[in-house]
C-alpha cells in the first residue's frame, strides 16, 4: 500500500502553526534515528516546551515494549512533541490520552475516519491498528521534568504482512490526506486538551476516554511481561491504570501491558505487531 502522499512543506508548517505552542521550535528532518530520541536529546539540552520534531523517515523508530516502528520515507506521520508540564508522574498518562484523543478527533474531522483508542497507547480503526504513541519522560522524584510524546500514524502505508491487523488513513478513508493538514489539526486540538489537563487535572478526560476507548465494557485478554489473563475492562483511572473484573467479583488493576478483545474461545484479535500468540 505504498503511495506518494503530499510532501511536508516546513515553511508552510511554520506558518500554519504560528501562534500555537508548537511554533517554539520545529525540527524537521528527512531522516532521523527516532523522533523521540531527538526530542529527548533536545529536552536534555534545554529545548523549550512545545518543541516539535518530525521526520519523513526513521532509521530506528521505536514502539512500545522494545518493538521497532517501521514506516517508509514520506508515507506516514512520524513526530514527537516535547512538554515541560508542572505535573507529577501519575499525571503523564493524561497527556498521552490528550494526544491520542486529538488524533482520533482530527481523523474524524479531517478524514471522516472513526478511530478509537485502545489502552494504553494505540489508535485503531475497527479491529486494525492505525497508529501508536510512545511516551517517555524524565522526573525528579515525583515531579516531571519533561515529557516526550511520540506519535506514528499510518497515513498511506501499513505493513503488508500485517494486513489483517493494521491499516492506514488511505485505506480507511479511500483518499489521500495531507500529512501536514493532519499534523496541524492534531496539534491544534492537542494544545487545547493539554491546557485543559493542566488547568483541571487528569480527571478531566475520563468521560471522553470512556467514549473513545473501545475495550471498556468488553472481555479482554491482558498480556504483560509476567502473565496473561482475561477479564472485563471496567474503567481506566486518570493515572492510566486499567481496572478489570476477572470473575466472581475479583478486581485486578494493570499498569502496563497489552490488551486485545476476547473473541470466540481460542482466538484473540491481536492488537498489533504480531506479539499475541494464543498458547
Question: Quick check: 260 binds ligand BTN (CB under 6 A)?
Answer: no
Give CA–CA dist 172/83, Å, rounded.
31
Residue 174 DSSP label = S
Identify the three-state secondary structure at position 26: strand
Q: Pick between residue 64 and residue 128 the one whose CB is nearest to ligand BTN.
A: 64
Contacting ligand BTN within 73-112 (CB under 6 A): 78-80
Residues 11 and 224: their CA atoms lie apart, in Å, by: 43
User: How does strand 26-32 pair with strand 52-58?
Assistant: parallel
How far, rounded to the nearest angstrom, does the alpha carbon of residue 185 sit from its chain's CA centroid? 15
Q: Which residue is nearest to ligand BTN (CB)?
A: 132
Per CB under 6 A, 168 contacts ligand BTN: no
For residue 110 the three cell numbers come to: 479531517
Residue with smaller CB distance to ligand BTN, 36 or 167:
36
Residue 175: how many other CB atoms lie within 10 Å: 9
Q: What share of the chain is helix, strand, coil (3-state, %, to 5)?
A: 30, 30, 40
Chain centroid, CA 60 distance in Å: 17
> Which of 13, 16, 27, 36 is in the footprint of ligand BTN by CB under 6 A?
36
Tell me: does residue 188 bind ligand BTN (CB under 6 A).
no
* Buried b / exposed e along 50-76 (16+ C-beta atoms within 10 A): bbbbbbbbbeebbbbeeeebebeebbb
240 makes contact with ligand BTN (CB under 6 A): no
User: Which one of residues 5, 17, 27, 35 is an interface residue with ligand BTN (CB under 6 A)?
Assistant: 35
Scan for cell 497515513, then name that residue. 155
Shorter beta-carbon distance to ligand BTN: residue 69 or 194? 69
Among 34, 154, 168, 180, the residue binding ligand BTN under the rule CB under 6 A is 34
Cell, residue 43:
529536552
Using CB under 6 A, which of the segments 131-139, 182-190, 201-209, 256-264 binds ligand BTN? 131-139
Segment near ligand BTN (CB under 6 A), from 19-27, 29-37, 96-104, 250-258?
A: 29-37
The residue from 52, 94, 130, 134 that contacts ligand BTN (CB under 6 A) is 134
Residue nearer to ligand BTN on the CB measure, 75 or 216: 75
Q: Is 135 in the site for ligand BTN (CB under 6 A)?
A: no
- Chain contacts with ligand BTN (rule: CB under 6 A): 34-36, 58, 61-64, 67, 69, 78-80, 121-122, 132-134, 150-152, 272
Amino acid at each position: 500500500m505504498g503511495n506518494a502522499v503530499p510532501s511536508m512543506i516546513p515553511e508552510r508548517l511554520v506558518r500554519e502553526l504560528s501562534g500555537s505552542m508548537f511554533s517554539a521550535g520545529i525540527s524537521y528532518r528527512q531522516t532521523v534515528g527516532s523522533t523521540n530520541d531527538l526530542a529527548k536529546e533536545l529536552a536534555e539540552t534545554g529545548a523549550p516546551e512545545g518543541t516539535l520534531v518530525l521526520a519523513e523517515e526513521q532509521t530506528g523508530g521505536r514502539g512500545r515494549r522494545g518493538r521497532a516502528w517501521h514506516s517508509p520515507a514520506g508515507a506516514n506521520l512520524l513526530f514527537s512533541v516535547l512538554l515541560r508540564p508542572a505535573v507529577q508522574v501519575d499525571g503523564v498518562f493524561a497527556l498521552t490520552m490528550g494526544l491520542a484523543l486529538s488524533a482520533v478527533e482530527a481523523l474524524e474531522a479531517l478524514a471522516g475516519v472513526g478511530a478509537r483508542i485502545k489502552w494504553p497507547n494505540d489508535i485503531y480503526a475497527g479491529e486494525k491498528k492505525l497508529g501508536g504513541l510512545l511516551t517517555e519522560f524524565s522526573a525528579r522524584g515525583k515531579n516531571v521534568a519533561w515529557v516526550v510524546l511520540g506519535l506514528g500514524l499510518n497515513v498511506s502505508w501499513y505493513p503488508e504482512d500485517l494486513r489483517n491487523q493494521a491499516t492506514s488513513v488511505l485505506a480507511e478513508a479511500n483518499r489521500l490526506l495531507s500529512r501536514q493538514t493532519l499534523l496541524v489539526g492534531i496539534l491544534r486540538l492537542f494544545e487545547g486538551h493539554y491546557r485543559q489537563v493542566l488547568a483541571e487535572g487528569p480527571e478531566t478526560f475520563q468521560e471522553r476516554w470512556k467514549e473513545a476507548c473501545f475495550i471498556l465494557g468488553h472481555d479482554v485478554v491482558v498480556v504483560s511481561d509476567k502473565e496473561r489473563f482475561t477479564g472485563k475492562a471496567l474503567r481506566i483511572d486518570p493515572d492510566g491504570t486499567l481496572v478489570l473484573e476477572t470473575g466472581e467479583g475479583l478486581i485486578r488493576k494493570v499498569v502496563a501491558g497489552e490488551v486485545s478483545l476476547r473473541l470466540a474461545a481460542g482466538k484473540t484479535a491481536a492488537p498489533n505487531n504480531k506479539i499475541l500468540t494464543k498458547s
